Structure 1
Amino acid sequence: MSDAAPAREPVPAPSLPVTWRPSRGRLVAYVSAAVVVAGAVAMAIFIAEPFKLPDRLAIVAFACAVAFVLHLLGRVRVEADEEGLTIVNAVRTHHYTWPEVIEVTLLVGDPWPKIDFSDGRTIGAMGIQGSEKPRARRATAELAALIKERGEADEG
């Protein structure tokens, strides 16, 4: 793990399976989605008369679309199991076996860690939010320990 913070004692690899997901971002996404949908339903019920049923339904449908986008942001996570690593980001889900995983880095100021793979790809792991500083450092250190224990970095 690359981090500009002072060196810390090594973190042991967690037992598998393990899932890392943000706490604040998830809470904000789902509470916001509920508020948007509830507000749209209330607006559709109490809006002035020139708005007909199709207009009211469109308001609620738009709120549901916004809630879906918020759900995509709230579902992000990083899962590690015996087979490998699954990174669920807002739009895409990536699955890699342990030998394909090279390294994880979280630099100070990064929004989330970056994971390097043997095929040359680097993917951001949105499930570990850099804004949750101590928690993000701990999760990244645990993931780095798993990669060292099971991944390509262990070979050679």
Structure 2
Amino acid sequence: MMTANAVVLRPKKIRKVAWACAIGLVAVFTVVGLLLGNTPTGVIFRTSDQVAMILLGFLLAGGVLLLTRPKVNADATGISVRNVVTSHRFEWTDVLSISFPDGAAWARLELPEDEYISIMAVQAVDREYAVKSVRALRELHKAVHNQR
């Protein structure tokens, strides 16, 4: 999404896949947890075991949903990149360029001294959306540098 002076980006496909997987995990672990009570093996599963199995499904689903976290907010003052676990904020003067190397899973910010930060919100699997996103970030980066 791009407005006059701001760009907000989130991945598309991974969000759908992550939500589907999370719902599937909760469903499977709930069914397994509920069916644990009656087994012909002689093992006795208590209510606490069943609850633990269901909670495990929710915990795994929460882990999968971390993949929906990536987001980019960029405006004339700089760019904020939130990945699965980390968040970074850079002024445009600190960013050399925005690149998407061949074969890479996601775009990245090129920084001084051969450093870079991955932009997990712009993923190769999103194809045309990824292309438009990189172009929007590059235009904003260029516009800010041309004003200086």
Please indicate the TM-score interval, normalised by the length of the shorter structure.
0.7 to 0.9
TM-score by length of 1: 0.79
Note the aligned Cα RMSD (angstroms): 2.2
**Does the CA-based 8 Å contact 1:100-1:119 persist in structure 2?**
no
- The 3-state SS of whatever aligns with 1:113 is strand
- The 3-state SS of whatever aligns with 2:73 is strand
In structure 2, do the counterparts of structure 1 residues 22 and 109 end up closer, same or farther at CA, with 3 Å as the change threshold? same
**Does the CA-based 8 Å contact 1:128-1:140 persist in structure 2?**
yes
- The Cα shift of 1:33 comes to 0.6
Are positions 1:30 and 2:19 aligned together? yes
Query: Which residue type is aligned with residue 15 of structure 2?
Result: R
Q: Could you tell me which residue of structure 1 aligns to residue 117 of structure 2?
A: 123
| Rounded Cα–Cα distance in structure 1 between residues aligned with 2:89 and 2:24 | 33
- The Cα shift of 1:16 comes to 3.1
Query: Which residue type is aligned with residue 6 of structure 2?
Result: P
Are positions 1:98 and 2:92 aligned together? yes
| Rounded Cα–Cα distance in structure 2 between residues aligned with 1:69 and 1:115 | 26
Aligned length: 142
**Does the CA-based 8 Å contact 1:44-1:57 persist in structure 2?**
yes
Aligned residues with identical type, % of pairs: 24
Query: Which 5+ residue runs of structure 1 have no aligned equivalent?
Result: 1-12
From the CA coordinates, give the structure whose radius of gyration is larger: 2
- The Cα shift of 1:29 comes to 0.5
Query: Which residue type is aligned with residue 32 of structure 1?
Result: C
In structure 2, do the counterparts of structure 1 residues 96 and 139 end up closer, same or farther at CA, with 3 Å as the change threshold? same
**Does the CA-based 8 Å contact 2:26-2:58 persist in structure 1?**
yes
- The 3-state SS of whatever aligns with 1:127 is strand
- The Cα shift of 1:122 comes to 0.3
| Rounded Cα–Cα distance in structure 2 between residues aligned with 1:53 and 1:142 | 54
Q: Given the alignment, which residue of 63, 69, 78 partners 1:84? A: 78
Q: Could you tell me which residue of structure 1 aligns to residue 29 of structure 2?
A: 40
**Does the CA-based 8 Å contact 1:14-1:146 persist in structure 2?**
no
**Does the CA-based 8 Å contact 1:14-1:142 persist in structure 2?**
no
- The Cα shift of 1:120 comes to 5.0
Query: Which 5+ residue runs of structure 2 have no aligned equivalent?
Result: 39-43
Q: Given the alignment, which residue of 47, 53, 74 partners 1:53? A: 47
**Does the CA-based 8 Å contact 2:13-2:125 persist in structure 1?**
no
